[in-house]
Amino acid sequence: MTLIRSAAISTRLAFQMPWRRRQVKQMCRDGKAPMSVLFYHRVADSVPNPWTISNREFERQVDYCREHFELISLEEVQHRLESGHSPRPTATFTFDDGYAENCAFALPLLIRHRIPCTYFVTTANVRTGEPFEHDVRRNAPLPINTVEQLRAAADAGIEMGLHTANHVDFNQVRSIDHLQREIVDAKADLESMLDRPVRYLAVPFGMPEQMRPAVLQTARDCGLIGICSAYGAYNLIGDDSFHIRRFHGDPEFNRFRNWLTFDNRKNIRRPDLPTSDILDDSDDETPEVTYEECLST
């Protein structure tokens, strides 16, 4: 079924490519070229799961982006959104969670090619070394980045960002104290570990229901300069630069190319975010979003 789906995507992409290219050329002439921000979790050849991509496939995607896009940082994405000028299509690399294996191949590859990258980690897992609950549930616990690994990557030019303290689902958070612990206290904790400022937050799961007004406001209030979602969208001139939109670096190459080849129909379909919010001291009982649901967007 995967091969059939991949072939169908490839055929559709080939048919639509001339139209999409004309569309992007016009956007470039207008200074409104799309900015794509990719997110990954784990690059490794062992213990495959829906949030792991192989070393070979990751390198293939990096090479594709180097050939077809200007590779820029999150800060430059924000600068172009704020200036109202984006002269050419761009791609930006980010990682979520903090898997130790990323230090074996993925991060050295990006560092070697001087490709900007922001690497988001959950502070509690880094502090304790405990594996992520979503891996434990699959009976496949995986090693977590150490503080020493993160410091070494930061020294080599990788920007470190926050992915909350406990990989929390913000759709379950009902109290102000809980929100503060997961963002404000976790930011201070990560800064103390790294001995450098932390500027960005990637919201775990990153779907519209997690991108609540209270989450964005708390991030602003504690000095973060940007917050990343993960529900699948481009960054376009006119968008709020504080909210950086991302899509998954899909291990299936045709799906990956399909997302990176700008299609305005995806932009038209992107969801609205919540506009109202209530925080109190009630229990957090909303069911958690699964990784599979997040990556299926």
Residue 218 inside a domain? The answer is yes
| Structural domain count of the chain | 1
Residue 286 inside a domain? The answer is no
Residue 222 inside a domain? The answer is yes
Q: How far is CA 38 from the centre of its chain?
A: 6
Residue 97 inside a domain? The answer is yes
Q: What is the CATH number of the domain that holds 148?
A: 3.20.20.370
CA dihedral 25, 27, 31, 37 (to 10 degrees): -100
Tens of pLDDT along 254-297? 999 999 999 998 889 999 999 988 787 554 544 466 656 556 55
Residue 289 inside a domain? The answer is no
Q: Quick one: pLDDT band at residue 178, thresholds 50, 70, 90?
A: very high
pLDDT number for residue 282: 53
β-bridge partners, 200: 226
In the structure encoding, which two tokens stand for residue 29, read together? 């002439």
Residue 99 inside a domain? The answer is yes
| Mean local confidence (pLDDT), 94-103 | 98
Tens of pLDDT along 32-73? 999 999 999 999 999 999 999 999 999 999 999 999 999 999
Residue 176 inside a domain? The answer is yes
Residue 8 inside a domain? The answer is no
CA–CA gap between residue 59 and residue 113 (Å, rounded): 11
Q: Range of 28's domain?
A: 21-271
Tens of pLDDT along 105-159? 999 999 999 999 999 999 999 999 999 999 999 999 999 999 999 999 999 999 9
DSSP character string of 170-197: TTS---HHHHHIIIIIHHHHHHHHHTS-
How confident is the prediction for the chain on average, in pLDDT? 92
